[in-house]
Structure 1
Amino acid sequence: MAKLEKDTWIVVTDSEKALFMRNLTDLQDPNFEVTDTEQQDNPSDRDQSANRPGRMQDGGVNQRSALDDTDWHELAKERFAKDLSDMLYKEAHAGHFKKLVIVASPKVLGILREEMHSEVTDKIVAEIPKTLTNHSVSEIEKIVKHELEAA
């Protein structure tokens, strides 16, 4: 069973928001204190795109095909996860945490796994593939406790 000890960091994130919390107690009665938040302003792709998708001449007479446009909204989500991994590296390197629990949407968790430095991954005691950024801190405490007890 993964331990949720005093001073363990809990990072709850999706592709646009991250909550940094610290456990003040233990797994039996978790008490999370929010220490920081990060949020990205990520308008819809339509609002970020300057032009309509391009077109390409096909081999036939008067035939043209549409080209896929860059999905700026999705790129910003991936960039947020990469930026988060950089923040966690800086904090780990500075010695600000010894144990880390990551609660992230499955897609973000996958990106974080690819991007995180070993100095961070060595401190991870649990990963919870859930999207909890819009839950209250007390709900997050209950869900994390349940997930860690079930592990």
Structure 2
Amino acid sequence: MQLPKGATVAVADGEKFNLFRNAGDEADLKLTPLDHAAIDADHQGATPGRHGSSANPDGGQDREDGFSAGVVALLNKQVLAGEITHLLIIAAPRTLGAIRPQYHARLTAALVGEIAKDLTGHALQDVEKAIAAA
């Protein structure tokens, strides 16, 4: 996959989030880390109507769902503010499935692709290789 110069790359799972910008061009990908606001993990709505139960007493999945909802809320906000014009989302498959229904229409329009892969703990070079291979 080729990314336009200046495209934003969001890498997420249910606990971690990283944001990068393509400082290179379409032929020569070069990701640089971007600072971002803290994720509000108390967000609700990743899985409406879903709550902890005796089958899930620690609420771990609820925390992951809340974090995922916080990630998409941040991305929606940045797209609406014009801070992101081209966006690639790389996320663990479950996280990607949880955030897709929450994309704002303008985020969907800015989306240049999605990669269903968990790369949050990987080196920057691994992220670049996954993008090049997509």
Question: Where on the TM-score scale, by shorter chain, does this alignment land: which range?
Answer: 0.7 to 0.9
* TM-score, length basis structure 2: 0.82
- Kindly provide the amino acid, as one letter, of the partner of residue 74 in structure 2: M
Corresponding residue for 1:18?
17
The answer on whether the counterparts of 1:17 and 1:39 sit within 8 Å (CA) in structure 2 is no
- 1:76-124: per-residue Cα shift (whole Å, max 9, x none)? 0011111111101110111001100000011100111011111211110
Q: Which of 87, 94, 102 lines up with 1:100 in the alignment?
A: 87
- Structure with greater Cα Rg: 1
Pairs aligned (count): 122
* Large movers: runs of 4+ above 2 Å: 36-41, 67-71
- CA deviation after TM superposition for structure 1 residue 36, in Å: 2.5
Distance (whole Å) between structure 2 residues aligned to residue 100 and residue 36 of structure 1: 16
Structure 2: stretches of 5+ with no match in the other structure: 42-52
Compute the RMSD of aligned alpha carbons. Answer: 2.0
* TM-score, length basis structure 1: 0.73
- CA deviation after TM superposition for structure 1 residue 139, in Å: 1.6
Mapping of 1:2-17 within 5 angstroms?
Answer: 3-17=2-16
- CA deviation after TM superposition for structure 1 residue 134, in Å: 0.9
More strand by share: 1
Sequence identity (%): 29
Structure 1: stretches of 5+ with no match in the other structure: 42-52, 54-66
- Kindly provide the amino acid, as one letter, of the partner of residue 10 in structure 1: V
1:35 has 2:22 as partner: no
